[in-house]
Amino acid sequence: MRNKRNSTIALVLGTIACLVGGWLLLRGATSLTTFPLNTLSPQGRKADIIYDLVVPVFAIAGLVFILVEVGVVWMAYRFRRNEEDREGEGEPVQVHGNTGLEIGWTIVPALLLAVIAVFNANAILQMDDVREDAIDVTVIGQQWWWEYRYDTDSDGAVDIITASQLVMPAGRDVKLAIQSRDVIHSFWIPALNGKKDAVPGRTHDLVLEAAEPGIYEGQCTEFCGLSHGVMRMQVKVLDQADYDEWVDIMTTPPEQPTDDAAVAGQELFVQQCSTCHQVNGLEPGAQAPYEYAEMPNPNYGEDVGSTLLSQNAPNLTHLMMRDTFAGSLLDLYEDSDVNAIDSGVGLGSVVPEGEPNYNNLKRWLRNPESIKPMDPANNQGMPNLGLSEAQIDELVAYLVTLK
């Protein structure tokens, strides 16, 4: 009797667990706002291909799972030892071998897999297809942020370098050439496509396309050191006209600072920051007044490594054109909630709106390691420069002019 009651309890608990799990899965599948890293809420044509493959395969697998589980439970019940046999009349009747069944459960799965393979191969071929008017962007993984390099006029020279946020127009293919400067990272925007590893010395292609403007979240998915867990990325999708405006702004030097604090901040930036961070046209050790060089900056050659002035640090020329900084970990603007699609502030606007988030910028300059685990002694992340509060104020006054 006790065994019977226990198995009934197990059956009921198991059923409840399955229902709750299924409900959570379905709930997640319907929302990108609550779950921004939701691969089951496709927002572009590449993600649609994956989704259209996953759903039927999952349905077939689910059906097989249910049939097998029902079979197991039914057989356990149907062929259990009878109550009358309890006293131990030897073993139950042994049944062995049923040729028809065995051939059946070998052939049916093989056929199922063969059918799925056809759709699978078709989907893989579709993933590689790129439209003619695709925009080329080189993506470089780095401990612990992403750099994006655009060749907007397809002349082979880089003319925009930015970080944290990849900006692209809605409805256009963007062909990413994914690389890494240090260790293996993995680039993943779940709403737009699958994952692609960034491997040092190699280039991996990935095509992104988003149907609608919005901000789409991503997360590095290959363990890459101390701050792997907070190595985020965002794709900001604008409509084509806004994207063109963005390109215009990004290829125009920001205005020179005029107020005293910002001018002092620029001076400080050249002394303290410019050996790693580049602001196009500012050269480390240059003398004031600082003149902006013509774009594209001659320091951006084809060679990513040695000729680049910004050494392993984000290019800050148009810092304030991003909604987030520090590897997309911190908001650059007050009241900014770019962590969800359709969330309002900054969304879809070429230049993010609102007050700069002075608090975040200052916290970052005060002690970057306290916000993001880093190892600057080994060239991984930003060092604490031991700046005074007055210096921090000046630097921030300069940084917020970089639009």
Q: Could you tell me which stretch among 52-60, 125-133, 222-230, 382-390 binds ligand CUA (CB under 6 A)?
A: 222-230
In this structure, are strands 330-331 and 232-238 parallel, antiparallel, or unpaired? Answer: unpaired
Extract the runs of DSSP E, i.e. beta strands, from 194-276: 196-198, 204-208, 214-219, 232-238
Q: Does 372 bind ligand CUA (CB under 6 A)?
A: no
Q: Where are the alpha helices (DSSP H) in 31-157?
A: 45-78, 99-128
Interface of this chain with ligand CUA, residues 162 to 191, rule: CB under 6 A:
185
99: phi then psi, degrees, rounded to nearest 5: -55, -45
Q: Which position among 45, 149, 196, 228 is part of the footprint of ligand CUA (CB under 6 A)?
A: 228
In angstroms, the CA 32 to CA 341 distance is 7
Q: Interface with ligand CUA includes 224 (CB under 6 A)?
A: yes
Stretch of residues binding ligand CUA (CB under 6 A), selected from 188-196, 217-225, 240-248, 371-379: 217-225
Number of residues that bind ligand CUA (CB under 6 A): 9
Using CB under 6 A as the binding rule, whether residue 220 contacts ligand CUA is answered as yes
Phi/psi at 323 (5° precision): -85, -20
DSSP 8-state assignment for residue 375:
B
Segment near ligand CUA (CB under 6 A), from 125-133, 219-227, 236-244, 300-308? Answer: 219-227
Minimum CB distance to ligand CUA, residue 184 (Å): 8
232 binds ligand CUA (CB under 6 A): no
Interface region with ligand CUA, contact rule CB under 6 A, candidates 128-136, 167-175, 223-231, 271-279 = 223-231
**Residue 222 interacts with ligand CUA (CB under 6 A)?**
yes
Q: Which of residues 85-144 bind ligand CUA (CB under 6 A)?
A: 141, 144
Compute the residue count for the chain.
Answer: 403
Angle, helix 260-268 to helix 389-399, in steps of 10 degrees: 100
Binding residue (CB under 6 A) for ligand CUA from 160, 231, 374, 397: 231
Q: What's the min distance (Å) between Cβ of 194 and ligand CUA?
A: 16
CA distance 118 to 45: 20
Paired residues of 135 in beta bridges: 174
